[in-house]
Amino acid sequence: MGVSPGIGHGPAYVLTVSVPEPPEGATFTGEADQEKERAMAALTQVAGELEARGNRAGGEAEEILKAQALMAEDPGLVVKVRTLIDRGLAAPRAVFEAFTKYRDVLAGSGGYLGERAADLNDIRDRVIALLYGQVMPGLPARAAEPYVLVARDLAPADTALLSKSQVAAFVTEEGGPTSHTAILARAMGVPAVVACPGATRIPPGVRVMADGTSGDVRVEPAESDVADAVSADTARLSALASARGPGRTADGHPVPLLANVGGPAELHAAVAAEAEGIGLYRTEFLFLDRAEPPSTEEQVRAYRAAVEAFPGGKVVVRTLDSGADKPLAFLPAAAEPNPALGERGLRRFKRFPEVMEAQLAALAAVGAEELHVMAPMVATAEEAGWFARECRAKGLRHAGVMIEIPAAALRARDLLAQVDFLSIGTNDLAQYAFAADRQLGVMSPLQDPWQPALLDLVAMAANAASRAGKPCGICGESAADPALACVLVGLGADTLSMGAAALPAVRAGLAAHTLTQCRLAADAARAQRTAAEARVAARARLPELGRLGL
């Protein structure tokens, strides 16, 4: 998976860190108080080192490392370590067990929080290494030429002090788009590929080329292939740099380009990428790690920050989408055999109406005309009507629903009679149209947003919206693919919303094609039988994409 675009090539530097697991049941000799002091001293020292590295690194790395330093001295973890030592465990084993338990809880929550689990492993290993008097392997300070850094996973502490002059690319076996390897690589402008199994078996020193856009990693590439990839990348960069301003097609048809965000920290990147507003505010990410419902003041602050970041721009906030892949502790789930088909999204508010009311009240308190509010996981017109009435009762003027369930796409007309706008979530629409769990890697071919059946459902909903004279946006990952973005516009999407990183490429692709070309590409894609054929047929009608290196 490419997570930081660009081509990087150079000799492989393979980082193999292994701090041994302290033996199960390992005990200590001497006093428990002394053992506890030893553990506390190691935690404090690691926190101090992380903080010092952060100060030297500055920028985004500083924030991340300071957060890690806080984690190292988290009061809950400290108490756990002390308790385990009181029960007779040696300091390294106590640290191992306390951190591992906490890590498993984080990993179980998936998504952004799940990817923080790697941070805890790194802190744990540093503390254990210190307790054993072991030196953590570092990175070469100076190399003859920039290297491709290959590792199982990279911790911010490893990478924070690196620069573009040392590292040509990152390749890791673990990690996802929101892992710190990805975040820091993007901040440094270094290409990165994550989730690349077997990468650490690349022999050290062998030449490697990593494509942070496509996710391709090549070992010993031909020199001509490197030259071709670099020149395509240069073309892509200059195309991206020259596409500015509001989204529109080559013939001037406006397509507002909006950003998907999960919290205030992501607003900055959205503004920097010239998003014209927010197309999907995933509010559940604000409150994932909480046992109590968020307070009204806290919510108002978060939503107001989004409105203030985009003066006059549209801001679409989605009410809490709890359940399945996004568990929220304060909205406990019933035991369900198929949580993705269970009490998820809007359905859960039937059992917890006070939580929805509180969220809508907080949104209303922001009092902004640009604020649009929509519900996830809506299946029927009755549900849409219920949600819209609740919004209006609070004085919210723009109430919409997401189209994520095939039934909703099929009867979009009925839903539109109840609400003011639609937003198509192609991630879940694909999951439910193909009965293919979006969390299962083996199902990913069925999750392919180029599937003609998915395009048909999008067309159906967009056409219904156009007939009703109401707007229809797209906010699934599909909008982040420059070719598919043109197709979605051809299918009738009025706005496109995506992760901020994808905005420049989508803006450039759209600006290079007319609305008619987008429509012809959409027709060509829908005329095919497979996702692969749909993609090829559409791209053949969007000739500028190849020239732009997109």
Q: Which residue numbers are catalytic?
A: 180, 475
Instruction: State residue 33 phi and psi, 5-degree precision.
Output: -60, -40
Q: Which residue lies nearer to ligand PEP by CB, 374 or 524?
A: 374
First to last CA, the chain: 16
Q: Is 262 in the site for ligand PEP (CB under 6 A)?
A: no
- Rounded-to-integer distance, Cα 216 and Cα 330, Å: 41
Give me the phi and psi of 191, to 5 degrees please.
Answer: -60, 145
- Nearest to residue 479, comparing CAs of 493, 466, 465, 463? 493
Report d(CA 276, CA 311) in Å as an integer: 9
In the list 282, 348, 507, 513, the residue contacting ligand PEP (rule: CB under 6 A) is: 282
Closer CB to ligand PEP, residue 43 or residue 378?
378
# of chain residues touching ligand PEP (CB under 6 A): 10
Distance in Å, CB of 425 to ligand PEP, minimum = 3
Classify strands 2-4 and 257-261 as parallel, antiparallel or unpaired. Answer: unpaired
* 428 belongs to the binding site for Mg ion (CB under 5 A): yes
425, 490, 509, 549: residue in contact with Mg ion (rule CB under 5 A)? 425
Which stretches of 421-494 are assigned E, i.e. beta strand? 421-424, 472-474
Which tokens go with 97? 């067990």
Least CB distance to ligand PEP at residue 548 (A): 26
Contact range with ligand PEP by CB under 6 A, out of 107-115, 195-203, 423-431, 459-467 = 423-431
Angle between helices 91-109 and 75-86 (to 10 degrees): 140
Using CA atoms, how far apart are residues 331 and 51, in angstroms rounded to an integer? 35
**374 DSSP β-pair partners:** 318, 400
Q: Which stretch binds Mg ion (CB under 5 A): 40-48, 137-145, 195-203, 400-408?
A: 400-408
Tell which residue, 206, 201, 306, has the closest CA to residue 259: 306
Q: Which partner, Mg ion, ligand PEP, none, binds residue 282 by CB below 5 to 8 Å per kind?
A: ligand PEP
Q: Does 279 bind ligand PEP (CB under 6 A)?
A: no
Residue 426 interacts with, from ligand PEP, Mg ion, none (CB under 5-8 Å by kind): ligand PEP
Q: Supply the minimum distance, in Å, between the C-beta of residue 205 and ligand PEP.
A: 41
Strands 315-318, 371-375: pairing is parallel
Q: Which is nearer to ligand PEP, 134 or 439 (CB)?
A: 439
Distance between CA atoms of 519 and 179, rounded to whole angstroms?
A: 36
Q: Which is nearer to ligand PEP, 122 or 321 (CB)?
A: 321
Contact pick of 280, 416, 465, 545 for ligand PEP (by CB under 6 A): 280
Q: 280 touches which of Mg ion, ligand PEP, none (CB within 5 to 8 A by kind)?
A: ligand PEP
Residues of this chain that interact with ligand PEP (CB under 6 A) are 280, 282, 321, 404, 425-428, 475-476
